[in-house]
Structure 1
Amino acid sequence: MDIKTHIHEAFAALENTTPLIHHITNYVTVNECANVVLAIGASPIMASEISEVAQMVGFAQALVLNIGTANTQSIEAMLEAGRAANAQGIPVVLDPVGVGATTFRRQSVARLLEQIRFSVIRGNMAEMKTLAGLETKSSGVDSLEDESDALSIAQGLAKKLNCVIAITGKEDVVCDGTHAYTLCNGDEALRSVTGTGCMSSSLIGSFLGATNNPLLSAILGISTMSLAGELADKSKGMGTFRISLFDRISKMNASLVLEKARIYLKG
Structure 2
Amino acid sequence: MTIQHIIDALHQVREQKPLVVNMTNYVVMNNSANALLAIGASPIMAHSQQEMAEMMSFAGALVVNIGTLDSAWITRMRHAIEQANHYQRPVILDPVGCGATKLRTETAREFSALAKRLTIRGNASEIIALAGQKSQSRGVDALDSSEQAVDAARQLIERYQANVVVSGPTDHILTDQSHITLHNGSPMMPYVTGTGCSLSALTGAFAAVGDNTGLSAASVMGVAGELASKISQGPGSLQVNLLDTLYHLDAKALTQHLAINAH
1:165-180 equivalences under 5 Å are 165-180=164-179
- Which amino acid in the other structure matches residue 66 of structure 2? I
1:214 corresponds to 2:212: yes
1:224 aligns with 2:240: no
Counting matched residue pairs gives 262
In the alignment, the residues of structure 1 paired with residue 222 and residue 145 of structure 2 have an alpha-carbon distance, to the nearest angstrom, of: 20
Give the secondary-structure state (helix, strand or coil) at the position aligned to 2:100.
Answer: coil
Deviation (angstroms), 1:83? 0.9
Shift of 1:105: 0.9
Q: Partners of 1:241 and 1:146 in 2: how far apart?
A: 23
Structure 2 counterpart of 1:205: 204
Post-superposition shift, 1:23?
Answer: 0.6
Where has structure 1 moved over 6 Å in runs of 4 or more?
none
1:180-195 to structure 2, matched below 5 A, reads 180-195=179-194
- Counterpart-to-counterpart distance in 2, 1:59 and 1:109: 25
Unpaired segments ≥5 residues, structure 1: none
**Aligned counterpart, 2:45:** 46
What amino acid sits opposite 2:105 in the alignment? R
Does 2:76 match 1:109?
no
1:18, 1:42 within 8 Å by CA — same for their partners in 2?
Answer: yes
2:97 corresponds to 1:98: yes
Structure 2 residue corresponding to 1:240, chosen from 237, 240, 258: 237
Tell me, yes or no, if the aligned pair for 1:79 and 1:116 is still in contact at 8 Å.
no
One-letter amino acid matched to 2:224 = A
1:228-258 alpha-carbon deviations (Å, 9 max, x no partner): 1111145433222211111001111233212
For residue 156 of structure 1, report the CA deviation from its aligned partner.
2.7
1:52-108 residue CA offsets vs partner (Å, 9 max, x unmatched): 222212221011000001211111111111111111111110000001111111221
In the alignment, the residues of structure 2 paired with residue 11 and residue 235 of structure 1 have an alpha-carbon distance, to the nearest angstrom, of 24
In the alignment, the residues of structure 1 paired with residue 151 and residue 192 of structure 2 have an alpha-carbon distance, to the nearest angstrom, of 29
Identify the residue that residue 24 of structure 1 maps to in structure 2. 23
Q: Indicate the percent of aligned positions where both proteins have the same amino acid.
A: 37
Match for 2:252 among 246, 255, 261? 255
Q: Is the 8 A contact 1:159 1:176 kept in 2?
A: no
Tell me the TM-score normalized by structure 2.
Answer: 0.95
Cα distance per residue 1:17-59 (max 9 Å; x no partner)? 1100001001100000000000000000001112222221222
Query: Which amino acid in 1 is paired with 2:196?
Result: G
Q: CA RMSD in A?
A: 1.5
* Structure 1 CA distance for aligned equivalents of residues 125 and 155 of structure 2: 15
- Cα distance in 2 for residues equivalent to 1:256 and 1:13: 17
1:36 aligns with 2:35: yes
Q: How does the TM-score come out when normalised to structure 1?
A: 0.93
AA in 2 matched with 1:243: V
Distance 1:213-1:241 versus aligned 2 partners, 3 A rule: closer
Q: Output the amino acid matched with 1:179.
A: S
Higher mean alpha-carbon deviation, 104-113 vs 147-156, is at 147-156
Query: Is there any run of 5+ residues in structure 2 with no aligned partner, and where?
Result: none
Q: Distance in 1 between matches of 2:67 and 2:106?
A: 14
Structure 1 distance, partners of 2:131, 2:100, is 15
Assess if the C-alpha contact under 8 Å between 1:151 and 1:180 holds in 2: no
- Could you tell me whether the CA contact under 8 Å between 2:157 and 2:164 is conserved in 1? yes
